[in-house]
Structure 1
């Protein structure tokens, strides 16, 4: 995956691990990243890491985190 090196992408993608992150205003960097991803080894490595990273962001996990934030907020309002 080639992605922008800006939030929110930088919050869950790691440059060179799960994606190639580039400055979207630098077209030469974008072109280089796109060429690099065509290499089989790079593509396979990034794909495996991206699948692993995506598994950490399930709807169930997101719901648990959100519920915890709401509980904490509501609990602090009763003090």
Structure 2
């Protein structure tokens, strides 16, 4: 079975993950491993059963986007 997705699919999904991290108040203190573990916990709680190796490349990019763009404060967005 061939997977047909537009070229921008991965970037859009990664960007969405970054927005989730920002809206959840992701912090960037600690080692890179600690930061990745926090992001993994926010996006894919262990009960979801996704292997870390499957999401690691997208996770690293989402963390960088979230770090670059800063926290989203939902109370100001809704106003």
TM-score by length of 2: 0.31
Greater share of strand residues, 1 or 2? 1
Higher RCO (CA 8 Å, separation ≥ 6 residues):
2
TM-score, structure 1 as length reference: 0.31
